[in-house]
């Protein structure tokens, strides 16, 4: 899912009491400008030192110094209940596939 696709389907996640948080391996200023430009209705955070994407095991999988496209569904207690990691830079799950993983 691209950030724009998440923006279009944000209400579907809200109906399921799910929160979206996007994480981008970019400088803070770039992420702030991106979020401001497109007005995303969910937080877009900068993983400037790629610590989060490394901790989740998705950083530099394709030797490109970026996070692989990935989705993590985390329950209210903080437990990761579902993971999708793209097999290439264009591999992202459909919105409905993620929605199907929500309680």
Query: pLDDT tens across 52-84, in order?
Result: 999 999 999 999 999 999 999 999 999 999 999
Number of domains in the chain: 1
- Residue 51 predicted with pLDDT over 70: yes
- Residue 23 predicted with pLDDT over 90: yes
pLDDT value at residue 33: 97
Spatial neighbors of 25 by CB under 8 A, at least 6 apart, are: 46, 47, 48, 50, 53, 59, 65, 66, 67
pLDDT value at residue 2: 87
Residue 22: which domain range? 3-99
pLDDT value at residue 103: 84
Strand boundaries in the chain, DSSP class E? 22-24, 44-46, 70-74, 80-85
- The band of 1, judged by pLDDT with boundaries at 50, 70 and 90, is low
Q: What's the CATH code of the domain at 39? A: 3.40.30.10
Mean pLDDT for the stretch of residues 20-36: 96
Is-contact 82 101, C-beta < 8 A? yes
Mean pLDDT for the stretch of residues 26-46: 96
> What's the pLDDT tens digit per position in 3-20?
999 999 999 999 999 999
């Amino acid at each position: 899912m691209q950030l724009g696709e998440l923006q279009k389907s944000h209400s579907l996640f809200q109906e399921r009491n799910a929160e979206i948080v996007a994480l981008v391996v970019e400088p803070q200023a770039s992420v702030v400008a991106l979020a401001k430009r497109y007005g995303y209705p969910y937080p877009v955070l900068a993983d400037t030192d790629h610590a989060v994407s490394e901790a989740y095991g998705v950083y530099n999988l394709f030797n490109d110094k970026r996070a692989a496209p990935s989705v993590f569904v985390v329950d209210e207690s903080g437990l990761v209940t579902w993971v999708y990691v793209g097999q290439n830079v264009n591999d992202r799950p459909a919105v409905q596939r993620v929605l199907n993983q929500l309680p």
